[in-house]
Amino acid sequence: MAEPDRAKPEHRPLPIRRLLVMACVMAVGIAGLWMVIDRFSNVDVNDPTPPPASGSPVASPTVPASMIATPGDDGVFAPPAGSLPDLLRYAPDRLADDSLPLTDVGRYADIQAWMASRGLDAPSAPDGLAAPRDPELAVWRAELDNLALPTSLADRGLDPEWERSYGFRLTQVHQVLIVGQAPDYVMIVRGAFDPAGLHDAWVSSGYQAVEVEGTTIWTLFPGDTIDLSDTASRPAMGMLNNVVLLEDGTLVAAAKLPRLQSALRVVNGSASSLADNASIASLVGPGTGSEDLVSAVISRGSLLESLPADLPSPRAKTRGPDILSGQSFPTMVSSAVLAAQMPRVELVMIGVSLPASRVSDATPVANAPGPDPHLRLMFSFDDIDDGRIAQRVIEQRFNAYLSPVTGGAYRERFGSARVRVLDAAGDPAIVEIEASLPRGVADWLAILSERDIGFAFWLGPEASRDD
């Protein structure tokens, strides 16, 4: 007797297939969430306000039109001619070749922009030579104290002997950048030069024409030594012993012929420039506002490496709001503790800017700088985490500590100031301070020479960190 047919059970997917479907749904959901997080991960409250999406840059009435950045032929935003980031493109990368034994990296001055901001024209001189008793020249010359110029150029660049030796005078110089340490400089100069006058002066002074890197250069001493025995080498203290005028009118000079050769390799595209160095690019690249700098000094971060005795001291170890800024700090920690927290500074740039054309979204320390030329300090750190730590340490020291140099609050010398992480999107990270200069613009060079930047000091690995 046959068994009755049994009802077939309803087919159901195997549990493993159900799990796979659920896993796929969850993966899609997680991917979507990750895209949302990634979309907003680079937003930081300290990022500068972005530039307008359209429209041409607007020139400040005190800045020459040549100092306004314009898009390059390839659509990339190019630095203004003669600006610090522009002249760095001619300089050999002496950070990469490790030929800088001291902290100095470079010094820049835009004489033309500075004098324009002061309403001064370059004085003319009879017979092409500077007249030392010209009252207009005296006023113009006094303004040079605000700029980081090479000493020999500032002191001797108006002497008749300088012009006879080299074919130009200081009043013809628009911008100058020196890279290196005295006397082993490479100097890049833009100005109103007369090529025929330069040539005649070099021939008269005994320069020899030599071909280097496919270019005719002029040298007093074709070698790797700095020789001051020739009369023509003395006004510039050897800095103009080897010179070349490039096709675009830029004058490049060096105390040693191999240094000039390395600069020509950069110009020819066979070597990297200092502007290509990643650490330097973080200081002067797009979005940093470095084109606003009218004078600046770049140094290694070891300039700020200090011992505990050099650190600033707190005004008072109390809780509550700071007397000057009104900011509250939960605990007034010791300077040594703050120093232990302060990350290593890789590079330092200090300089003065003409009235900035950009709006700064920054953490206020006091009030924003006014329209006068103001101080800018930029510190380079390995990564964004170090940058944010450094920002907090600098803010607390600036508001609550005394300068070891002056014995007073930092505000007495730096006036209104603000601190921010300049670019939270990439490495190296930059912490920037914008400040006013109550003692006068020239005080920025005194601050540098006195190292009155204790709010950014960091302790080296061998320094004691005991309070």
What does the block give as tokens for 220? 């007093």
Query: Which structure tokens are listed for 352?
Result: 């003065």
* Phi, then psi, of 230 in degrees rounded to 5: -80, 140
Within 10 angstroms of residue 74's Cβ, the number of other Cβ atoms is: 6
What pLDDT does residue 339 have?
60
Q: How far apart are the C-alpha atoms of 157 and 39, rounded to whole Å?
A: 55
Residue 300's SS3 state is strand
What pLDDT digit, counting tens, does each position of 215-232 carry?
A: 999 999 887 777 778 888
Radius of gyration of the chain measured on its C-alpha atoms: 29
Whether 57 has a pLDDT exceeding 70, the answer reads no
CB contact at 8 A, 413 and 319: no
Mean pLDDT computed over 249-255 = 95
- pTM metric for this prediction: 0.77
| Sequence-separated (6 or more) residues with CB below 8 Å from residue 451 | 303, 304, 310, 405
> Does 45 score more than 50 pLDDT?
no
For residue 115, what pLDDT band results from cuts at 50, 70 and 90?
A: very high
* Range list of β-strands (E), 152-292: 173-181, 184-191, 208-212, 215-219, 242-245, 251-254
Task: Give 235 or 20, the one with higher predicted confidence.
Answer: 235
pLDDT at residue 400 in the model: 86
Using the Cα atoms of residue 386, residue 388, residue 389 and residue 392 in order, give the sign of their dihedral: positive
pLDDT tens digits, residue range 156-168? Answer: 999 999 999 999 9
Cα 398 to Cα 392: distance, rounded to the nearest angstrom: 10
pLDDT digits (tens, 9 = 90+) for 327-342: 444 444 555 566 668 9
Whether the pLDDT of residue 257 is over 50: the answer is yes
50: three-class secondary structure by DSSP: coil
pLDDT value, residue 108: 98
pLDDT digits (tens, 9 = 90+) for 273-320: 999 999 999 999 888 889 999 999 999 999 999 988 888 888 754 444
Length of the chain: 467
pLDDT at 269 over 80: yes
Q: Higher-confidence residue: 52 or 404?
A: 404
Q: Percent of the chain scored above 90 by pLDDT?
A: 53
- Render pLDDT for 392-422 as a digit per residue (tens, 0 to 9): 999 989 888 999 999 999 989 998 889 999 8
SS3 label, residue 253: strand
The chain-wide mean pLDDT, for the chain, equals 78
* Lowest-confidence region among 87-96, 249-258, 359-368: 359-368
Average confidence (pLDDT) over 142-165: 94
